[in-house]
Amino acid sequence: MIQITDKAMCCGCTACVNACPVQCIVMRRDKDEGFDYPVANPDICIGCGRCESVCPVLAPAQPCKSVTAYAVRCDSNVGGSSSGGVFPALAKAVIDEGGVIFGAVMEPDMIAGHAEADTLEEVERMRGSKYVQSDMYSVMSDVKEYLKNGRKVLFTGTPCQVAGLNKYLGAHSEDLITVDIACHGVPGPGLWKMYVDALEKRHGARMTSVDFRDKSKGWRHYCFKTSYGQKDVCVKAVDDPYMALFMQDMTLRPSCYSCPARNGRSHSDLTLSDLWSVRNTVPELNDDRGVSGVLVNSAVGGELLRSIDASFMKEVPVDNVMAENGGFAVSVAMPEKRAEFFEGLKVAGVDVYKHMMRYVVRKPLPQRMWRSFRSTLSSMKRRILK
């Protein structure tokens, strides 16, 4: 029976919940840091061990090497997507074949969760990175049901969600294509809820939408944009405490510091990432609009990628996609002050926004000025190229 004694040993994928034949496992939010963990009921458990055998942490898969890699941009999607807009193009190709798409959405109540779509309109809200762990609900069982009925499925998610799904399903069906995103870690839904409440208090209105990667000031120096009815608030991501602490690796799930699914252990067919090495790899696309680095991990993945309607697709070395990107090779280190940060959030009456601000490490002034200068140059370049 699954029992989480060390929180670093659970990435929250929900494979165990879906695999339990007597449905005795539920996900519960932990009060300390606001992440969800499985809790099994020993009175119902029949001791079959299914939960442990499908767990990507307890029974990790062997690493696989990516076959090839591509720099890709889809002009019609790039503006509304976080990187080069490859995900919507993959989704379109699968929908055209009658398939169903699973991906992360932000619900109107600002809860991130996985949803399904079989029209392009429904795929819209899956676009864009949501920097909070998405609730998987009963998605793994739903995917299994579609595959059983002979429907093609495209599942997108973090490497650990893909790893859990693959372990839960066992044999890989020909109708399933899994796409993961390069991932250095995720903050939890508990902290996100506290931050939404804090922003709503500051702005005196309900948050109606959020874009974690608004590209209006460029892809590299993106903004964090929230809306409160008619009012939009757009700040540089580095100046927003939620985003800054995410990038400082302060607020990530404990399992992210020893990620069980990176380095080819998710067994996804494709991996999508930001091609941060664009300057050296494809300088012709260095216009700050966004480029995807796509790792092809299987023949099926390669076939799907090559079938999409891309404006630019060029094979590049796998190492170039992984370069300058914290989402690949090794897990990030846990910041020294992480425990102190979460402890401070528990103090009664704490001002969440101010508390978070206290832990943001500002870059030295010359570095900030240089960044601002580069950002202005990029905007001018984008305007000239339009």
Ligand X SMILES: Cc1cc2nc3c(=O)[nH]c(=O)nc-3n(C[C@H](O)[C@H](O)[C@H](O)COP(=O)(O)OP(=O)(O)OC[C@H]3O[C@@H](n4cnc5c(N)ncnc54)[C@H](O)[C@@H]3O)c2cc1C
| Residues in touch with ligand X (CB under 6 A) | 81-88, 103-104, 112, 126-132, 134, 156-158, 181-184, 186, 272-274, 292, 325-327
Residue 191 or 316: which CB sits closer to ligand SF4?
191
Residue 253 binds: one of ligand X, ligand SF4, none (C-beta under 5 to 8 A by kind)? ligand SF4
- In the region spanning residues 321 to 340, those forming contacts with ligand SF4, defined by CB under 6 A, are none
C-alpha separations of 46 from 19, 35, 49, 276 in Å: 13, 27, 9, 49
Instruction: Give CA–CA dist 112/115, Å, rounded.
Output: 10
Name 314's bridge partners: 71
Question: Could you give phi then psi for residue 176, rounded to 5 degrees?
Answer: -105, 130
Instruction: Give CA–CA dist 355/248, Å, rounded.
Output: 15
Are residues 264 and 298 in contact, defined by beta-carbon separation less than 8 angstroms? no
Who's near 51: CB < 8 A, 6+ residues apart? Answer: 1, 2, 16, 19, 20, 25, 38, 40
Region near ligand SF4 per CB under 6 A, out of 42-50, 189-197, 225-233, 237-245: 42-50
Residue 318 binds: one of ligand X, ligand SF4, none (C-beta under 5 to 8 A by kind)? none
Instruction: Give CA–CA dist 342/355, Å, rounded.
Output: 10
- Which tokens hold the place of 42? 């020993």
Binds ligand SF4 by CB under 6 A, chosen from 34, 50, 88, 94: 50
Region near ligand SF4 per CB under 6 A, out of 39-47, 169-177, 213-221, 302-310: 39-47
Q: State the CB neighbour count (10 A cutoff) for residue 359.
A: 18
Which uninterrupted H or E stretch holds 104?
strand 100-106
Instruction: Give CA–CA dist 294/256, Å, rounded.
Output: 22
Residue 222 beta carbon to ligand X: minimum distance, rounded to whole angstroms: 10
Query: Total binding residues for ligand SF4 by CB under 6 A?
Result: 41
Is 185 one of the binding residues for ligand SF4 (CB under 6 A)? yes
**Contact track, ligand SF4, 244-283, x by CB under 6 A:** ---------x-xx--x-xx---------------------
Residue 238 beta carbon to ligand X: minimum distance, rounded to whole angstroms: 15
Residue 86 binds: one of ligand SF4, ligand X, none (C-beta under 5 to 8 A by kind)? ligand X
Residue 48 binds: one of ligand SF4, ligand X, none (C-beta under 5 to 8 A by kind)? ligand SF4
| Strand 270-274 relative to strand 176-181, pairing | parallel
The site for ligand SF4 (CB under 6 A) is made up of 1-2, 10-16, 19-20, 22, 24-25, 38, 40, 45-51, 54-57, 158-160, 164, 183-186, 253, 255-256, 259, 261-262
